[in-house]
Amino acid sequence: MSAAGRPVRPGNYAQQARTYDYTRGASPTVVRTVAKYLGTPGGLLLDIAGGTGNYAQVFQARGFRVVVVDASVDMLRRSVPKVGSGRQVAADAMELPFRDQAFDCAMLVHGLHLIPEPSRALEEVRRLVRAGPAIVMDPTSDNVPLFVHEYFGIKPSAASRPSTAQLVAMLQSAGFGRVDHELVIYTDSVDGSLHALHTSALHLAGPAYLRNTSFWMGLDDDTRRAGLAALARDLRSGLLEERVGAHFAQAAVQGHETVFAAWP
Ligand SMILES: C[S@@+](CC[C@H](N)C(=O)[O-])C[C@H]1O[C@@H](n2cnc3c(N)ncnc32)[C@H](O)[C@@H]1O
């Protein structure tokens, strides 16, 4: 439990909320990709696990009416200056307090991997959207594997994320009739997720960037110190820059993440 008596969720967003927007903004790579599927602005858009509202702000400016829903009130609070008050709902993505077909479309960016039962969340999205699309963006096990874990002595389990085919099947089981997907390749690190940070050696080695990731929240202090020292060493020698370059070449083939667009 947090000091305020609320349950601490994976990623500890009560803590991340304090610094999140220092390194996590609306990535042009993500905006371009989501915009392509959302189509004509004007509809009511639900941003699920919308956090501090970075993407909701962009799509509101483009003409969508937005509602941001998130499990963390600390994250949500930061969205108020961006999209206005009265547009936030604190709720779990697995049980959303809205009537059926209350929204034209929805997006779930960098949130699915944090939800304990992702298929339940996808069923909720399907229940809530009218024409769609529902857009889900997350890394799958088919996307490029990250290497930053090695610096912290961690071996990520290959089974920790669903494959692209499994996610398509989950969306279909949730009741979506048409599901498209494509690779996302970051050309910026504006939204400093762990995947986007792999495009910049300087950012990847920077504690200010890493601390706004769920990965960092799972590490103890000694592991953090040792990993940062190893990253700093390879940044100085130029090895980190080389690894980032090689990683990008692999990401160009496998993608950093995958975007799914689903219609009822
Ligand atoms: C990496 S942040 C992404 C925020 C936003 N989508 C963005 O890309 O800027 C993940 C967000 O998911 C939220 N979250 C985690 N589990 C959740 C759940 N079960 N239901 C709703 N939100 C959840 C966290 O509170 C956090 O704000």
Task: Supply the pLDDT for residue 5.
Answer: 40
Q: At 154, is the pLDDT very low, low, confident or very high (cuts 50, 70, 90)? A: confident
Q: Is the CB of 76 under 6 A from ligand 1?
A: no
| Within a domain: 8 | no
119 within a domain of the structure (yes/no): yes
Q: The domain containing residue 246 runs over which residues?
A: 13-263
- Look up residue 115 and give its two tokens: 């939800």
Mean local confidence (pLDDT), 92-106: 98
Q: How many CB atoms lie within 10 A of CB 212?
A: 24
In this structure, what CATH number is given to the domain that contains residue 105?
3.40.50.150
Is position 3 within any domain? no
End-to-end CA distance of the chain: 38
| β pairing state of 65-70 and 257-263 | unpaired
Q: 51 falls in which pLDDT band (50, 70, 90)?
A: very high
Number of compact structural domains in the chain: 1
Q: What is the pTM of this model?
A: 0.94
- Counting ligand 1 atoms within 8 A of each CB, the residue from 72, 74, 77, 83 with the most, and so the one to mutate, is 72
